[in-house]
Structure 1
């Protein structure tokens, strides 16, 4: 059976990609693309209008870039830890970039001359690729129970920026790079990210896998009930979304990254209980508590999250959105948190961090009597790490017991 002939558009896009890779965008002519695709130049103009419209089609051809990213990640994902994941991903990325250096330099160097829609397509393509890689990185992080102040998307973004910058400089200059070869550079890059992205053991200055501290080593810094109450009050006055966000943070104990990936369909309303379906990272269902640190914020029929969703007029799937009705990103969520906590201080005299909401939820769940294994299932946190939270809950319970005894004297 003969192979079906590709459409004219598909042949033009394929030819353009090949020539852009061989010669760069500037040196590639529409006539050359038409000849490579075995059509006349008029056909190219009829389908795309001009070279930049053709470049836009190449960028938007999801099959090309999806296969590229998937191939990179599949090879990197075979590794057992974050260090090896980053090392392999970086090596494969540089190998891929080196297959089409003219194309990469041309796209980066000429982007300022492209129409807005081309630049938007490039930005969208990079964002989608970064999110795809971040999902795999988060799985690697979860396997090792690492702690970071950055989301997986932020780590991937920074990592890719450095990789592309290195490639452009290395392939465009002579005598500038301070590493003898790619392997030395990649070793330094991974070392930098392991130190800068994840909590490190100060007592061990060597950069090895043992110098990455597991989550079980982090300090538990739950927030006092009075501060949480003040935060709820301020959020309620600020707006329905802010109130819903604080409610989800302290009522379900989700991480920042998990909240960023929540969609309306993930909110489950049952007769006596409201649940959140977490589909990013450690997949599970988590109950939305009606009570948070002695105050009731929800019932079997209504809560701040329901009120927020009912007030929405947009069609955006994400639960939390920005002013443009797009899914909120990590920086925007952090900005909301800072606005709500700008006049609040922890007992240590510091501004509350959004990560402390999850810690507070864990400690409170232990205070309310949940079993260690059950909280591990609900939180996605391993039992060994939760021992720290359980100890903190016992300390708080002891203080409360002492206070009750003091009242009896």
Structure 2
């Protein structure tokens, strides 16, 4: 299947930013790598910041998270968290080149990059927090700060991925990922579930 011009530009942006970082990547080089003129890039995205935003959105976990949560209102929290954790890790593992670009830019923190990253991170936290609030209203969760729970759960998975796959250069097996997610989920369940539901599950 033939790639669209937009997809060619996004692929080229990933290549160039992986080599030179956000600040070092020029729209001229990205356009050239995609086989189009720079004006075509601006017609599709307007600015380099918008191009970077589109690149992150293409590989974003948020649509998958929303899909999981939308179909999980009647499922045990343990199963929901395990699926979120597994899918998030697998997404980052599959998109490791994107993650390398993102993580290298976090250190340098040019303002456009920082703003886009912050926006996407908070969106994921907000979606999980909203789901947990619905469970709390049903009396299933303790009176704890759910934003902290959502942030800590997603952050723990991200930190584990960063350490194992980026810093140490590993590519973990499915079993090792599942073992980590299983143990992490158990820790969180003990902290948030009310005694009744916890015993039941």
TM-score (norm 2): 0.72
Question: 1:117 maps to which residue?
Answer: 112
Q: 2:144 aligns to what SS in structure 1?
A: coil
Query: What displacement does 1:49 show?
Result: 5.9
1:27 counterpart = 2:19: yes
Question: 2:148 maps to which residue?
Answer: 154
Contact 1:85–1:137 (8 Å) recurs in 2? no
Q: 1:156 aligns to what SS in structure 2?
A: helix
Query: What displacement does 1:84 show?
Result: 1.2
Structure with greater proportional strand content: 1
The CA distance in 2 between the partners of 1:33 and 1:103, in whole Å, is 15
1:165 counterpart = 2:159: yes
Query: What displacement does 1:144 show?
Result: 5.6
The CA distance in 2 between the partners of 1:42 and 1:155, in whole Å, is 45
Query: What displacement does 1:39 show?
Result: 1.3
1:73 counterpart = 2:70: no
**Structure whose alpha-carbon radius of gyration is higher:** 1
Contact 1:17–1:58 (8 Å) recurs in 2? yes
For 1:167-195, what per-residue CA distance to the aligned partner results, in whole angstroms no more than 9, with x for missing partners? 111212158x9x96101000011011112
Query: What displacement does 1:107 show?
Result: 0.6
Question: 2:199 maps to which residue?
Answer: 210
Q: 2:51 aligns to what SS in structure 1?
A: helix
Counterpart among 101, 104, 111 of residue 106 in structure 1? 101
The CA distance in 2 between the partners of 1:155 and 1:163, in whole Å, is 13
Contact 2:141–2:192 (8 Å) recurs in 1? no
Contact 1:149–1:198 (8 Å) recurs in 2? no
Which sits farther off after the overlay, 93-102 or 40-49?
Answer: 40-49
Question: 1:55 maps to which residue?
Answer: 52
The CA distance in 1 between the partners of 2:11 and 2:156, in whole Å, is 26
Structure with greater proportional helix content: 2
Greater RCO, 1 or 2 (C-alpha within 8 Å, sep 6+): 2
Q: 2:36 aligns to what SS in structure 1?
A: coil
Contact 1:87–1:187 (8 Å) recurs in 2? yes
The CA distance in 1 between the partners of 2:97 and 2:19, in whole Å, is 10
The CA distance in 2 between the partners of 1:19 and 1:99, in whole Å, is 18
Query: What displacement does 1:24 show?
Result: 7.6
Equivalent positions of 1:341-380 (< 5 A) are none
Question: 1:267 maps to which residue?
Answer: none
Contact 2:141–2:194 (8 Å) recurs in 1? yes
* Change over 3 Å in CA distance of 1:77–1:37 after alignment to 2: same
Equivalent positions of 1:175-194 (< 5 A) are 181-194=176-189
Question: 1:94 maps to which residue?
Answer: 89
The CA distance in 2 between the partners of 1:171 and 1:24, in whole Å, is 21
The CA distance in 1 between the partners of 2:46 and 2:109, in whole Å, is 15
Q: 1:146 aligns to what SS in structure 2?
A: coil
1:83 counterpart = 2:78: yes
* Change over 3 Å in CA distance of 1:93–1:26 after alignment to 2: same
The CA distance in 1 between the partners of 2:50 and 2:63, in whole Å, is 26
